[in-house]
Amino acid sequence: MIFTYFDMRRLQSGNYFKIQEKVRIDWKMYACQLFVWNSVVIVSKFILFGFQELIADQLNETGSFLLSPITNPEFLLVFVMIIIPFIMNAITFWIQDNILKKSDFSNQEEKQLLIGTFYEGTLNEQFTQELVVL
């Protein structure tokens, strides 16, 4: 949204469809997008840290209450160090993907997406030509 407002379309992310192999990657734009993304992540981590510091006592009490049924210390360690982070990372990636992925495609992009989706050697040449003409 910000990039559209300031007419910085090259920094928009979310084009997930397959592109032609001959398209060259613009490494400068990639570096800019990477810088923007890392900046957002760093700022969000600082905000999260500050929020956790503000409510640390409540978080400790809630965690102790929720984990009190687990009596085996080894399972508790696995649960806290592996299972919970796995679930939280999956949720985080799902939310980020829904925010970042592109949802509005131009007609040309939709054609490229359609061709890229079906291009696994199963389409005949005539059908592919008809899609390109559309």
Give pLDDT tens digits for 102-127: 666 667 666 665 655 544 444 455 55
DSSP 39: H
Instruction: Go through the chain and tell me how many residues it has.
Output: 134
**List of long-range contacts for 95-100, beta carbons under 8 Å, 24+ apart:** 100/13, 100/14
How high is the pLDDT of residue 66? 94
CA dist., res. 90 & res. 124, Å (int):
38
Greater pLDDT, 39 or 28: 39
16 vs 14: CA distance, rounded Å: 6
The reported pLDDT for the residue numbered 96 is 79
- Do the Cβ atoms of 98 and 90 come closer than 8 Å? no
Do 24 and 123 form a contact (C-beta atoms < 8 A)? no
| Averaged pLDDT for residues 31-49 | 88
Backbone Cα Rg of the chain: 23
* Model confidence at 99: pLDDT above 60: yes
Confidence label for 16 from pLDDT (cuts 50, 70 and 90): very low
